[in-house]
Structure 1
Amino acid sequence: MATIVLNWELGAALGHVARYLPIALQLRERGHRPVLVLRDISRAEAVLGPYRIEFLQAPVWLTPVFGLPPDLNFTETLYRFGFLHPEGLLAMAMAWRGLWELLQPQLLVFDMAPTALLAARGLGIPRLLLGNSFAVPPRVRPLPRYRWWTSGAGEQARLAETDERSTRNCNTVLQRLGAPLIRQVADLFEAEATYICARPPLDVYGVRQDGEYLGPINSLNMGADPLWPLGDGARVFAYLKSDYKHLEPLLNAIAKSRARYLIYAAGLPEQVRKRHESEHVTFSAIPLRMREVVKQCTAIICHAGGMTDIALDHGKPLLLLPMQMEQTMTSHRVEVLGAGVLLPIEGNPAVLPRLIKRLLEDGHLAARAEAYSRQWPSTDQTPAVARVVDRCETLLKHADLAAET
């Protein structure tokens, strides 16, 4: 039996836990001990407790960083999580190493965990990197710009300087740790195996010829079965954040629509729910079984996170409401596909009724979403999970052989 630690450091909500859960379950079925080290454990017991999966709190960067311009790429985003100054970065790396020292893993898995990847250099423990396309950036210098749909004129010098400074900071830490240095920020993402949990057309950085695409891995059967409002209107599922800045205008627009809505918004205040619930608008207080939701609905409203992959795999058009850059990048990929509409972060919420009307009535959106789903006729994620677990066991065997020689 091997101890395999699955690490998550950056991001929010349940997407990373939902990706790790089926992998952890299959690892355990094969006789291993999976331990999840998670950025956010606030809902971990609700998700993992029924399966008796071990989990621990990850080291996280808590100090706000002020005075930075909007991020141009992933390297600049890392500035906000400890990579701006080597002293704090060293402390984070040492915390990761201290945690692993307690767990004694034979294999490390990483999903959106750049500081953990830095800390793992030189330990001699096999590494498997996976995640959505944003979490696994291309191995280029500098890392790609976020806003690929704009010209980016005049940004290259800044991107080059950022890469050089971040590389110096990382190498200062690596020298203190006695670990191999990096030549560029992209080297942080070195691993013995790397998988992109996405379809090529939704890769936020563009299709990669050398990318190993697994397709999405989610926990589609986690949650309760959907209960829709009665009636004959189209069924629309909305997966929302309760802190979305345009939540009230959105719910007002939904109230004026003739469709039937089932809404899941974690942490939604009771007074908000009561104000907007009606004969054709129902709120769920608990997560729903996505496999059934996507079978039964006509369209989906969400913030362009993991729900996007699920929707398009099942041929459902989307209204996307991005709240941050990764979601914005995904939204523009969906827009290029012609399978959805979006309200940008800086967009005017007054257009929401028009966007909802188009979502429900524009046959081209539905047709493009259905065409996308036909490219991937199987939505069974079992082979993708098995491929990851098989590779984990291969890495463990190679490590055992190396230790014997």
Structure 2
Amino acid sequence: MAHVHLCWELGGGLGHAGRLKMLAQALLARGHRVTMSLRDLMHTDALLAGLDVARLQAPVWLHQAAGLPPPGNLAEVLFHCGYLEPVALRGLVAGWRAMFALLRPDLVVADFAPTALLAARSMGLRSASVGNGYNMPPSAQPLPAWRDAERLPASQARMLATANAVLAEHGAAPYAHASDVFLGDLPLLCTWAELDPWQRAGAEWLGPSFVPDGGIVPHWPDGDGPKVFAYLKATHAAYGTALQALVDEGCRVLAYVPEVAAGAAPPVLSERVLYAERPLSLQLALAQAEICVTHAGEATLAQALLAGVPLLMLPSHTEQFLTACRVAASGAGYNAALLSPSSDWRAAARRVLDDPGFRQAARAYAARYRDFSQHRLNQRLAALLEARLA
């Protein structure tokens, strides 16, 4: 059978590693050999425990690019990761090439790992990409922009020229389009059409890939009031304000805050808030929750929609903001991105709690995708990768 190497280079959180874990399990079950290279080995250790694959540190960019404006498209995201000049990118590509020379994979699969794809192309290795839409732009089109700026076409051209200069050094065919840098030979779009931030036409949306089980059994604060599940991080400036607003609205809040679980002081002390010491079973928590409060990471968001639970969303970065915009447009959630810590968070919470339209839209998602199966999705992904190997 084949040797498939799964890569994660850019982006934070555990969503990338979770998607690769599910794919690895499907490939292993079909008799393939699997290895992984990950951006973060420490935070993914518990998630990947029990997965019998070799895990290596991915070559990643460790330097600051001073003087750059906030990114306005994916090309400018890569400027912060070595793609400003060929001389900077060359070392990262050499690291990936050395890894592939030692591992000798038959197929490289990238989850937001453009430099792994570039290295694979430079060596004539077959490649594929998986992702939730944000990091997989529409093929053969200008890179989508989330910030208006006249410089963006020039940025796209510069990023593409940098990548092609390195490919030329290895005698490899150049990329034709900037989007090619992110896609590999076979792009596999792991989201639903409604959540795709780029709203591309004619794509095959396979559905969101996430780890569906695990976590501790939820227990809610005693008393009356709506049950609210909150998965928030202390890095968001208003997360404490949002929790206080829910308490003030009479909710019973079950919250998982990683920083609090690790020993940080809780932002709100109330008998109406219970902080989980470990990640919770989302399936069990969402089966009881009336609303879900989240940063709009797709794993939590998709499971809430599958459960028919409306969302109050506090996006922390561009990818989450774009996803929150799509959910808000569908009516299944409220995008609180424009609210500051001094805003009226009680009104936002009350709106999601009281307006039946939010729950109706969320339940419409659940009805539309009631036959969605994470197992079938991952079997489908494995089959598509096998076809690429053939």
* TM-score of the alignment, normalized to the shorter chain, above 0.5: yes
Pair 1:259 & 2:256 matched: no
SS at match of 1:236: strand
Structure 2 partner of 1:401: none
Letter of the 1:300 partner, please give it: C
Alpha-carbon shift at residue 233 of structure 1 (Å): 2.2
Q: Aligned partners of 1:210, 1:365: CA distance in 2, in Å? A: 28
Q: Aligned partners of 2:318, 2:69: CA distance in 1, in Å? A: 14
Q: Aligned partners of 1:53, 1:336: CA distance in 2, in Å? A: 40
Letter of the 1:98 partner, please give it: A
SS at match of 2:130: strand
Contact persistence 2:212–2:374 (CA under 8 A): no
Instruction: Encode CA deviations 1:129-180: one digit per residue, 9 max, x unaligned.
Output: 1110102111244201125xxxx4xx4x422211221121112111122221
Letter of the 1:236 partner, please give it: V
Structure 2 partner of 1:213: 205
User: Residues 190, 254 of structure 1: CA spacing in aligned structure 2 closer, same or farther, 3 A cutoff?
Assistant: closer
Structure 2 partner of 1:143: 143
Structure 1 partner of 2:270: 278
Letter of the 2:293 partner, please give it: I
User: Is 189-198 or 339-348 further displaced after alignment?
Assistant: 339-348
* Pairing of 1:6-405 with structure 2 (within 5 A): 6-147=6-147, 152=148, 155=149, 157-206=150-199, 208-268=200-260, 270-273=263-266, 276-306=268-298, 307-344=300-337, 347-396=340-389, 398=390
Q: Aligned partners of 2:306, 2:66: CA distance in 1, in Å? A: 39
Alpha-carbon shift at residue 329 of structure 1 (Å): 0.9
Q: Aligned partners of 2:66, 2:324: CA distance in 1, in Å? A: 27
After superposition, the CA RMSD in angstroms is: 1.8
Q: Aligned partners of 1:196, 1:349: CA distance in 2, in Å? A: 38
Q: Aligned partners of 1:311, 1:379: CA distance in 2, in Å? A: 13
Alpha-carbon shift at residue 190 of structure 1 (Å): 4.2
Contact persistence 1:251–1:276 (CA under 8 A): yes
Q: Which has the larger helix fraction?
A: 1
User: What are structure 2's unaligned runs of at least 5 residues?
Assistant: none
Structure 2 partner of 1:3: 3
Number of equivalenced pairs: 388
Output the TM-score relative to the length of structure 2: 0.94
Instruction: Encode CA deviations 1:236-275: one digit per residue, 9 max, x unaligned.
Output: 11111121122332232233231111111112363522x6
Q: Aligned partners of 1:10, 1:212: CA distance in 2, in Å? A: 24
Q: Aligned partners of 2:188, 2:74: CA distance in 1, in Å? A: 18
Alpha-carbon shift at residue 84 of structure 1 (Å): 1.0
SS at match of 1:370: helix
Alpha-carbon shift at residue 321 of structure 1 (Å): 0.5
Contact persistence 2:242–2:345 (CA under 8 A): yes
Instruction: Encode CA deviations 1:215-252: one digit per residue, 9 max, x unaligned.
Output: 11110102222222233322211111121122332232
User: What are structure 1's unaligned runs of at least 5 residues?
Assistant: 399-405
Q: Aligned partners of 1:247, 1:370: CA distance in 2, in Å? A: 26
Q: Aligned partners of 1:184, 1:191: CA distance in 2, in Å? A: 12
Letter of the 1:25 partner, please give it: Q
User: Residues 336, 232 of structure 1: CA spacing in aligned structure 2 closer, same or farther, 3 A cutoff?
Assistant: same
Alpha-carbon shift at residue 67 of structure 1 (Å): 1.4
Q: Aligned partners of 1:248, 1:23: CA distance in 2, in Å? A: 36
SS at match of 1:392: helix
Alpha-carbon shift at residue 351 of structure 1 (Å): 1.9
Letter of the 1:79 partner, please give it: F
Alpha-carbon shift at residue 31 of structure 1 (Å): 1.5
Alpha-carbon shift at residue 33 of structure 1 (Å): 1.9
Structure 2 partner of 1:402: none
Alpha-carbon shift at residue 299 of structure 1 (Å): 0.9
Q: Aligned partners of 1:172, 1:22: CA distance in 2, in Å? A: 35
Q: Aligned partners of 1:211, 1:27: CA distance in 2, in Å? A: 24
Contact persistence 2:308–2:363 (CA under 8 A): yes
Alpha-carbon shift at residue 89 of structure 1 (Å): 0.8
Letter of the 2:278 partner, please give it: I
Q: Aligned partners of 2:82, 2:166: CA distance in 1, in Å? A: 12
Alpha-carbon shift at residue 365 of structure 1 (Å): 1.0
Q: Aligned partners of 1:18, 1:282: CA distance in 2, in Å? A: 26
SS at match of 1:319: strand
Alpha-carbon shift at residue 349 of structure 1 (Å): 4.0
Alpha-carbon shift at residue 50 of structure 1 (Å): 2.6
Contact persistence 2:254–2:276 (CA under 8 A): yes
Letter of the 2:376 partner, please give it: P
Q: Aligned partners of 1:229, 1:21: CA distance in 2, in Å? A: 33
